[in-house]
Amino acid sequence: MADTADTTGRPPGADTALVLGAGGLTGVGWEIGMLYGLAESGVDLSTADLVVGSSAGAMVGAQLLSGRLSFGELYERQLAAPPGGGTAAGITPGLFIRYARAVLGSHSPEEYGRRLGRIALDALEKGRTPTPGERRAVIAERLLSDEWPARPLLVTAVDALTGALRAFDRASGAPVVDAVAASCAVPGHWPPVTIGGRAWIDGGVHSAANAHLATGYRRVVVLAPSTLGNRVVVSPAAQAAELSAGGARTCVVTPSAAARKAFGRNSLDPAARAAAARAGRDQAADEARTVAAVWQP
């Protein structure tokens, strides 16, 4: 009997979901290195029926599904200087303290999102971030296409005023460049992005992976450069456990000790991107069997 649509919104016949989590520029490098290394081991995650991307994962997902470059070519781009330049300035101690206070003062991901939204809007108003136009130009140069891929891609972002999570897709009406820029808009570091008259910030604010968006898919692989979880932000591991409890086969891959060392202390430093990519490719050989057990029927 043919599959029919279910209450989760999973299309008929769809089975596999790839979740690409947040993690800055080093997260981009590690995820692409991991994808390349897994492909070299015979596990091709680009066949996913759904890709969910948050922050770094949004950039990787859009590049992966563009079909413009092979795994190897995507990997080689990580070893070169990043197009559009880059800044090694990361989260300052003062900004980190404001993040910590936001966590302690919040009781839900939405409240936390509102608090970080205020930080983002305040930084933009006071000229502490690049202009939205400057940032958009950088994202556009790093993406391989200004069109949404034909394959299903969800790009997450958080409403700066309400703290609500939204997943943008091809049907949302938002340009893919704007959706990815919003998903990568680290509060206080990069400017919020206006889509549909509303300001949006980093999708990783709600969750480091947002793996819950893969609910209903039977086989789910999560690549999570950040394992963050706290009193208001649900960790990738906890989200995967909920998917497993619902009957899915899941696998969460997080950076090895060698990869974490390659990342350094600043995930937004473009100089660390190449080392992170190499670490991801090296780690993939150790993860391939576990990932294949979930991915392959």
CA 213, CA 108: separation in Å to the nearest integer?
18
Other beta carbons within 10 Å of 141:
12
Predicted pLDDT at 93: 86
Distance between alpha carbon 236 and the CA centroid of its chain, in Å?
12
Measured at the alpha carbon of residue 176, what is the angle toward residues 131 and 211, in degrees to the nearest 5?
A: 105
Which conformational region is residue 113 in: left (phi greater than 0), alpha (psi within -120 to 50 degrees), or beta?
A: alpha
Residue 186 in contact with residue 266, Cβ under 8 Å? no
CA dihedral 242, 244, 250, 251 (to 10 degrees): 60
Predicted pLDDT at 167: 98
3-state secondary structure of 199: strand
**Residue 92 token pair:** 């300052």
Predicted pLDDT at 82: 65
Question: Sign (positive/negative) of CA torsion 151, 172, 184, 53?
Answer: negative
Q: Which among 54, 55, 66, 267 is annotated as catalytic?
A: 55
Predicted pLDDT at 9: 59
Q: Which among 15, 159, 202, 269 is annotated as catalytic?
A: 202
**202 classed as catalytic:** yes
CA 173, CA 158: separation in Å to the nearest integer?
17
Predicted pLDDT at 5: 31
Identity of the amino acid at 271: A
Predicted pLDDT at 4: 29
What are the respective helix, strand and coil percentages of the chain, to the nearest 5?
A: 45, 15, 40
CA 283, CA 199: separation in Å to the nearest integer?
37
Residue 226 in contact with residue 208, Cβ under 8 Å? yes
**55 classed as catalytic:** yes
Q: Give the mean pLDDT per block of 10 residues along the chain (297 residues).
A: 40 88 97 98 97 98 96 96 59 89 96 98 96 96 94 97 98 98 97 98 98 97 96 96 97 98 94 96 98 94
Residue 114 in contact with residue 163, Cβ under 8 Å? yes
Predicted pLDDT at 3: 31
CA 212, CA 292: separation in Å to the nearest integer?
21
The ranges assigned to domains in the chain are 16-82+125-295
16-82+125-295: CATH topology is: Cytosolic phospholipase A2 catalytic domain (3.40.1090)
Predicted pLDDT at 88: 54
